[in-house]
Amino acid sequence: MTDDRELWARSLDGDTTAFGTLFERHADAVFGYCLRRTGAWSAAEDLVSVVFLEAWRRRRAMVPYGASVLPWLYGIALGVSRNHHRSLRRHRAALDRVPPPEPAADHADAVVERVDAERRVAAVHRHLAGLARRDREVVEACVWLGQTQAEAAVTLGIPLGTVKSRLARAHRQLRTGVLADLAMEDRPDGPQPAPPGPAAPARRTDPRTP
């Protein structure tokens, strides 16, 4: 099998077939990363296209790490997903006014798989949301992507020592919360609601406050 370095070298000369082989080889991995970052199947599909278009545009500025271009592609996906989140925050009100598209025909098994994937991603997001962004991105690289700490440093563009310290800090915070949450989600009866606490006393409000 032709390795990534050779395919990338051919891509530098404009060989779209070589670049297409790289896409076929790594698109699923990039999609999985984008799905975990966004929590939405359709958004992840869109971002994969953006990642590879950006990789083609920036191909002359890239030097593969080891025998694979995947860490570099993950780095692009990180930046693209950050932009996606910023755009959502800026335009959510406008997007909410756009009517949803008609649902496409889909097989039942595919629907179940998609819903289950999004449910599990949402469970993980609930626990990661408490981490600082820089720590969360290290966890995503080393845990979700299975990267070594050196590869994560390439993906995130930070020193290896910084990856080590951020990963250790995130591990102390997360502990077993994610696994416990997923186990609860997988119970036949689902997660049980916490018993209601005592009602909070009513507070007087300033009538001048809107």
pTM of the model: 0.54
Look at residue 102 and tell me whether its pLDDT is greater than 50: yes
CATH numbers and ranges of domains, the chain: 1-96 (1.10.1740.10), 120-185 (1.10.10.10)
pLDDT digits (tens, 9 = 90+) for 19-38: 999 999 999 999 999 999 88
Residue 26 β-bridge partners: none
Dmax (CA) of the chain? 73
Q: Which pLDDT belongs to residue 147?
A: 86
Contact by Cβ (8 Å): 191, 185 = yes
Give the pLDDT confidence score for residue 206 in this predicted structure.
47
Average per-residue pLDDT in the chain? 76
Closest among 119, 126, 27, 131 to 69, alpha carbons compared: 27
Distance in angstroms (rounded) separating the CA atoms of residues 106 and 104: 6
Over residues 128-184, the pLDDT tens digits come to 777 888 888 888 888 777 788 898 888 899 999 999 999 888 878 776 555 555 566
